[in-house]
Structure 1
Amino acid sequence: MKPNPSFRPAKDAGAQTPSLFNRLFPVNRDLAIKSIFGVWCAYFIFATSRVLYVTQANADALFVQRILMTSICITFTWLLYRLLISVRRNGMGAAIFMLTVPTMILANYIAVLDQIVFDHEAALFDFAYLLKPVDFESFDWAYVLDEAFTRYFILASWGALYLALSHSKDVQRMMVHSRQLERVNRASELRALRYQLNPHFVFNALNSVSSLIIDRQNEQAEKLVDDLADYMRAVLTGGAQDMITVEQEIAQQVRYLEIERMRFPQRLHYFVDIEPAANDWSIPALIIQPLIENAVKFGVSGADQPLNIIISVRIEGDRLRISVANDGRVEIPPAEPSERTAGTGTGLTNIQSRLRALYGQNASLLLANSKDGMAIATIVLPDPSLIFEDI
């Protein structure tokens, strides 16, 4: 197939020609425009206000000449801006150099042009003198030197201000970017820690189903599978929620305990005691799931005696205390994962990691043994407003 010579590929729809301002001010456009025009407009207003206390002949023509000179100063300041951004990647030393010799040259040019513009008593809007040859011998060089110093001071001050503000803006931009990355990383960490619980729970629940099948309790096994499906549906439906209310969390855990009661109907007993005011407190989803799993696993499975599990939620001052107590003794898992026995410590480490990611040092997990022979795990949470966030 021969190519069509009249065919021209369409331009990329996403490619756009930069606007004039974007080409003139490619870096920190808003800052550069506002600072350049702001400095010289303030200078123009100050210079013009002298007419209020100094009588000037031909004031209208001087006003127009002053506008022309201000425009020239803005143009030369733009040139300095382009010099500064051209060396922005070379460090502060290069930028400081640009504020010395090159800026002095620009200031001297402005002073010479100032002498040319104001050394003529022209009529209003008469700029014909600008086209005539310049007579440098008639210059008042003392005036030129004085103007050069004044303009250099303004240019250098503007350059230092621009560098300081642009550096501050760059730092703020990097901080915002850093916060965004930190927020994304923390959200990913929280979700990874949270969903680490689901396979753990499924594994235990499927063990329960397997035990019922081995014992030929098919009806109970079928009901357990149905209840498990309902539970997992409830958990996964709220999967997008990192925080849920105490009432929702306890309802999920009660559903889990009802599933386990089918396996141990005579041995597993649980009690729930929630302070009414705590029902609407926001807590991390599935935060107490590992505590209840451990209570069932090491309580019911590890002994032939009945097991009592007590879940209590209380508000103490500005703190929420969630306690899971069960018959038995708690053993603190070793710090090193290699020293742990199979199945111990993972759930507790998971809880601690989630609390640290969400609350920093404002939340804690406490393990203790009571005098009446019960192991107690307590999660202490601060007010939801103290959840660790970017400042």
Structure 2
Amino acid sequence: MIPDAAIRPAQNAEAGKASLFNRLFPVNRDLAIKSIFGVWGAYFVFATSRFLYVEQANPDALFVQRILMTSICITLTWLLYRLLIAVRSSGMGAAIFMLTLPTVILANYIAILDQIVFDHQAALFDFSYLFDPVDFTSFDWAYILDEAFTRYFILAGWGALYLALSHSKDVQRMMAHSRQLERVNRESELRALRYQLNPHFVFNALNSVSSLIIDRQNEQAEKLVDDLADYMRAVLTGGADDMITVEEEIAQQVRYLDIERMRFPERLHYFVDIDPDANGWSIPALIIQPLIENAVKFGVSGADQLLNIFISAQVEGDRLRISVANDGRVKILDGQTHDSSIGTGTGLSNIQNRLRALYGQNASLLLANSKDGMAIATIVLPDPSLIFEDI
């Protein structure tokens, strides 16, 4: 085992190195480093490659001088970088100003240093001439102006590239943050919508248990409590926007109907017709629970009559249709749905809100009446790939 005393110096050195880079490049560090060294690295390679077709005296010393000059250019470009980030909160106008007058000054300074460095036939690694007094009268000012013009466009081009890339990075960062907030809000909404179902169901199921106890059907009440516990365990173990297969969803609803049949053994009948192609289709958990709950609540509890519930699921092209039909009629008055067997309010709103949160406008809940006196609620779902996802 390596002692902490041996690890700590290495960690401190690494932290110090990271801290130094953070101080030198406080904003868009990777982008700034890569772009600055990339631009002047490419310039260095291009300038150095001239020895392949132009004969040069003392090429070793000239190579070292080019390294020195490239280092100076990198340093002054870093200075321009600091100027740009200093005015980044002042708007685009301040950034454009930094790419004009200050950049022209830096370009002229580079050109003068270039004249000083390459105007000396220095020996290898001899930089003593840098400390000699500068004789400006001996400068070739025409060369300096031409060189300043070239260096200005390199600096301005780098500055424009950096501003464009940093703006794009900022936009991407804001979009990622926005998507994250949207995802968190959607998950919270889905969690609230899903948990909204559970108290409603528990209330109805406990009423069933209470009725059995009042009728002194203790054995059935005990079995109902056990079945209810198993059902609630399956319901509550999923996530807020948990997706399950059609087969699993139908199995949960059949379990619920079996629980209710213990209360109404002679009056509740249900039938299930599932297309084999639909069994593996992913759908939101408990999406048809409110339809079945309301059918039982308003159909069986509301009158002393037989209630038939039909559950079906078919794949039609790239759509899945899940229908819950039961005895009753749907009445539509003033754009609002009223039904004695399907129910209104929380249940249907819950389904619509969950579909909207998961699929946008790609899913729908439809209510209709059949010719044989059945109220039909149909949920139409698109392919699971159309669920909202964070890209």
Report if TM-score (shorter chain) is over 0.5: yes
Task: Tell me the alpha carbon deviations over residues 100-137 of structure 1, each in whole angstroms, 9 at most, x when there is no partner.
Answer: 11111111111111111111122222222112111111
Report the more deviating stretch, 68-77 or 114-123: 114-123
Task: Tell me the alpha carbon deviations over residues 246-268 of structure 1, each in whole angstroms, 9 at most, x when there is no partner.
Answer: 11111111111111112211111
**Which SS does the other structure have where 1:117 is aligned?**
helix
Q: Structure 2 matches for 1:14-29, cutoff 5 A?
A: 17=16, 18-29=18-29
Partner of 2:3: none
Q: What code does the residue aligned with 1:182 have?
A: E
Measured at CA, do residues 195 and 333 of structure 1 come closer, stay the same or move farther in structure 2, by a change above 3 Å? farther
Report the more deviating stretch, 203-212 or 243-252: 203-212
Report the more deviating stretch, 319-328 or 241-250: 241-250
Residue 361 in structure 1 maps to residue 365 in structure 2: no
Task: Tell me the alpha carbon deviations over residues 268-318 of structure 1, each in whole angstroms, 9 at most, x when there is no partner.
Answer: 111111122222211110000000011111211222221100111111112
Distance in 2 (alpha carbons) for counterparts of 1:151 and 1:110: 7
Distance in 1 (alpha carbons) for counterparts of 2:336 and 2:96: 54
Asked whether the equivalents of residues 325 and 377 of structure 1 are also in contact (C-alpha less than 8 Å), the reply is yes
Asked whether the equivalents of residues 190 and 354 of structure 2 are also in contact (C-alpha less than 8 Å), the reply is yes
Partner of 1:56: 56
Report the more deviating stretch, 265-274 or 238-247: 238-247
Report the more deviating stretch, 183-192 or 163-172: 183-192
Residue 31 in structure 1 maps to residue 61 in structure 2: no
Partner of 2:276: 276
Measured at CA, do residues 65 and 27 of structure 1 come closer, stay the same or move farther in structure 2, by a change above 3 Å? same
Partner of 1:143: 143
Q: Structure 2 matches for 1:1-391, cutoff 5 A?
A: 17=16, 18-239=18-239, 242-332=242-332, 344-391=344-391
Report the more deviating stretch, 295-304 or 365-374: 295-304
Asked whether the equivalents of residues 328 and 374 of structure 2 are also in contact (C-alpha less than 8 Å), the reply is yes
Measured at CA, do residues 313 and 182 of structure 1 come closer, stay the same or move farther in structure 2, by a change above 3 Å? same
Q: What code does the residue aligned with 1:48 have?
A: T
How far the C-alpha of 1:340 sits from its partner, in A, is 11
Distance in 2 (alpha carbons) for counterparts of 1:210 and 1:127: 98
Asked whether the equivalents of residues 190 and 240 of structure 2 are also in contact (C-alpha less than 8 Å), the reply is no
Asked whether the equivalents of residues 333 and 340 of structure 1 are also in contact (C-alpha less than 8 Å), the reply is no
- Could you say what the CA RMSD is over the residues aligned between the two structures, in angstroms? 2.4
Distance in 2 (alpha carbons) for counterparts of 1:122 and 1:304: 110
Distance in 2 (alpha carbons) for counterparts of 1:186 and 1:108: 56
**Number of equivalences:** 377
Measured at CA, do residues 333 and 217 of structure 1 come closer, stay the same or move farther in structure 2, by a change above 3 Å? farther
Measured at CA, do residues 167 and 74 of structure 1 come closer, stay the same or move farther in structure 2, by a change above 3 Å? same
Report the more deviating stretch, 16-25 or 373-382: 16-25
Measured at CA, do residues 29 and 333 of structure 1 come closer, stay the same or move farther in structure 2, by a change above 3 Å? farther
**Which SS does the other structure have where 1:263 is aligned?**
coil
How far the C-alpha of 1:328 sits from its partner, in A, is 1.1
How far the C-alpha of 1:193 sits from its partner, in A, is 0.8
TM-score by length of 2: 0.90
Asked whether the equivalents of residues 332 and 367 of structure 1 are also in contact (C-alpha less than 8 Å), the reply is no
Question: Identity percentage over the alignment?
Answer: 87
Segments of 5+ residues of structure 2 without an aligned counterpart are 1-10
Asked whether the equivalents of residues 244 and 282 of structure 1 are also in contact (C-alpha less than 8 Å), the reply is yes
**Which SS does the other structure have where 1:331 is aligned?**
strand
**Which SS does the other structure have where 2:121 is aligned?**
coil
Segments of 5+ residues of structure 1 without an aligned counterpart are 1-12
Partner of 2:6: none
Q: What code does the residue aligned with 1:125 have?
A: F
Distance in 2 (alpha carbons) for counterparts of 1:62 and 1:107: 21
Report the more deviating stretch, 309-318 or 238-247: 238-247
